[in-house]
């Protein structure tokens, strides 16, 4: 059962709306590494897991990802609140479809369930989740660098920090199963998101530190 508390985990306050930047934010709403993909991926994976601890972890993180989706949606809504003052060339997607979030990525491609990685094997799924979190982290870092609004940056930094935390949790679950240092994991994860990024996350997972 879901209970919706009508408040955000962290307030979202955009100082200067920018519909063009709102287009970039769609990547984390309806994109391959976005919050919708993560929430559905972890939720569905949880039904395949016999270990109660890992199942609860997946469901807890999935619910948090839904709350992140809400925050990204609020960011997009606030950034597109002044569309009447925005050139169609700066935000064509919103000019055509209206303000607020849509099931699209920053390029206008529709969200698809093909983004979701779930295979009914807990080790395989946890590896896929670490890869997904690495992709989300990369996207949030790019958004922060492209952002001039301090209120937006504050929200994005919070979301980035939580993605790192989730990756650490997935790695600790793998470590408890004796699978974190499996050569198969190192090889295939590096192939998807870059060896340096995976190794960096692995070091954080062991030390428990966050940026």
211 residues of the chain, pLDDT tens digit each = 677 888 888 999 999 999 999 999 999 999 999 999 999 999 999 999 999 999 999 999 999 999 999 999 999 999 999 998 888 888 999 999 999 999 999 999 999 999 999 988 999 999 999 999 999 999 999 999 999 999 999 999 999 999 999 999 999 999 999 888 876 655 444 344 434 444 444 454 444 444 4
Strand partners, 104: 110
Helices (H), 47-90: 52-79
Closest CA to 149 of 93, 76, 87: 76
CA–CA distance, 196 with 203 (Å, rounded to integer): 11
pLDDT (0 to 100) of residue 1:
67
CA–CA distance, 148 with 180 (Å, rounded to integer): 38
SS3 category, 48: coil
pLDDT (0 to 100) of residue 130:
96
CB atoms within 10 A of CB 3: 5
Q: Tokens 């504050």 identify what position?
A: 154
Rounded to the nearest 10°, the torsion over CA 142, 143, 146, 152 is -150
pLDDT (0 to 100) of residue 2:
75
């Amino acid at each position: 059962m879901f209970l919706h508390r009508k408040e955000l985990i962290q307030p979202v306050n955009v100082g200067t709306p920018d519909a063009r930047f709102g287009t970039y934010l769609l990547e984390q709403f309806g994109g391959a590494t976005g919050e919708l993909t993560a929430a559905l991926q972890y939720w569905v994976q949880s039904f395949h897991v016999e270990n109660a601890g890992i199942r609860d972890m997946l469901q807890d993180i999935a619910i948090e990802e839904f709350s992140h989706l809400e925050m990204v949606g609020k960011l997009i809504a606030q950034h597109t609140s002044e569309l009447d003052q925005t050139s169609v060339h700066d935000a064509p997607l919103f000019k055509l479809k209206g303000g607020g979030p849509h099931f699209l990525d920053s390029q206008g491609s529709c969200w698809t369930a093909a983004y979701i990685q779930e295979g009914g094997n807990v080790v395989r799924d946890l590896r896929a989740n670490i890869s997904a979190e690495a992709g989300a982290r990369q996207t949030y870092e790019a958004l922060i660098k492209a952002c001039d609004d301090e209120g937006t940056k504050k929200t994005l930094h919070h979301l980035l920090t939580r993605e790192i935390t989730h990756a650490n949790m997935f790695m600790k679950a793998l470590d408890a199963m004796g699978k974190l240092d499996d050569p198969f994991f190192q090889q295939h994860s590096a192939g998807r998101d870059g060896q340096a990024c995976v190794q960096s996350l692995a070091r954080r997972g062991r030390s428990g530190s966050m940026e």
